[in-house]
Amino acid sequence: MSSLRSLRNLSVFFLLYGCVERFYVGGENNAIVEGKGGVWVLTTLSPELWYIDDSARRVIFADLWANKILKVGDTVFIVNSGTNTVFRYITTTTEVETLRVGDGRNPYSLAYSYINNTLFVSNFLTSTISAFRGKSLISEFRTCGNPEGLYVSGSKLFVACTNYYSDMRGELWIHNVFNFDTIRTFRTGINSQSVILDGDGEIYVLSTGDYSGRETYLYRISEGVDSFFVGGYLGGMCISKGGYLFLVGWYGGVYKFNWAVERGEGFIISDISASSCAVKGDTLIITDFDNDRVLYADFSGRIIKQFYVGDGPIDVYAGEP
C-alpha cells in the first residue's frame, strides 16, 4: 500500500462493509518515563503506539486503521478510523480509555483547545467535528466536506477539508472553540488535507492534488489567499520556530518552505514515502511508511539517525517545536 489515498479508500471499504478484524489493546503496556528527546510514533498496518528516545519500543496496541496521535499532558490520544473510536492512553498509569465517536464517521484527525479543555475530532465520512470534554461527547457539529486536518489557535479551530466525494475543491473553515459557530470560510486547492499556523499567525493550507496530474499547492491565508506551487503529492506539514515549514508526502518526499521570507527551497529528501513529520528543536523527524522506520534529519535533509518501528508508521508527535 503506497499512498494515503489507497489507505483512505481501504478504511472506507471496511467501514461500509464491516469485514474487519478487531485489534485489542495489549502489548508491553509499560509506563513511559519521558526524556526531553523522546517522540511518539503511531503505526497503522500493525496498529501500535511506539515511543522513541535512545531506542524504539512498542507501548500498546492501537485499533483498526489507527491514523493520528496527539499528546496533551500525560495523555496520548489515538484516532482509530476503522472502529470509530479514540483511545486515551495515560502514560503514567498505562490505563487506556475508549471514546466512541459514533458509527459510520471515519474519524481522521485531532486537535485540542487548552483554553476550554476540549478535544476536537474530524469525521471524514459525515463532514462533522466531534467535541469531547473529558470522557464525554459534548457536541457534534457540521463543517466543510470530508474534513481531515485540524489546528487550534486561541479561540479558533481551523479545519482543512478535501471535499473528496464531490469536486475535491478544498476549503478551510474556521470555527469558534466555545460555541462551535462558523466564523469564516475560504476556498483553497484540490484535496486540502492539512492546516497549520506560522509564528506570525498566518494560516497555511496544503492542497495535496488528485494523484493523477493536478499536483500539490501550498496556500497562505491572511487578508487574502496566496498560492505556491510545490509539485508532487504532499499531504502533511510540520513547522519550526526558526522559519521553516516542511511538507511531506507519499509521492515526493520532503519539501522545505521558508515561511519567514515566503519562498520555497525545494525538495530536501526524495524517494521515501513520508507519511508525517514533526520538528523538535533543530531536528526534523519523519515517518517513512513503506520502510517501517522513523528518520531524524537536520534542516538540510541530511539523515542523522533512524529507528525501525512497526508496520506502516503513519504519524509522529514530538511536542512543541
Cβ-count burial of 242 within 10 angstroms (0-12 exposed, 13-18 middle, 19+ buried)? middle
Q: What is the pLDDT of residue 251?
A: 80
Query: Is the whole-model pTM more than 0.75?
Result: yes
Q: Which of the four pLDDT bands, split at 50, 70 and 90, describes residue 200?
A: confident
Mean pLDDT calculated for residue range 60-89? 97
Which of 113-127, 171-185, 215-229, 284-298 is predicted with the least confidence, judged by mean pLDDT?
215-229
Ordered by where they begin, the domains of the chain are 4-317 (2.130.10.10)
Q: Residue 51 is placed in which grid cell? A: 515511543
pLDDT computed for residue 111 by the predictor: 98
Q: Is the pLDDT reported for residue 4 higher than 60?
A: no
Q: pLDDT averaged over the chain?
A: 89
What pLDDT is attached to residue 148? 98
Range in 179-183, 214-218, 260-264, 277-281 with the lowest mean pLDDT: 260-264
Q: Which helix (H) or strand (E) holds 5?
A: helix 4-17
Q: Within 13 Å and on the Cβ side, how many CA atoms surround 162?
A: 24
220 pLDDT more than 80: yes
Distance CA 171, CA 36 (A): 37
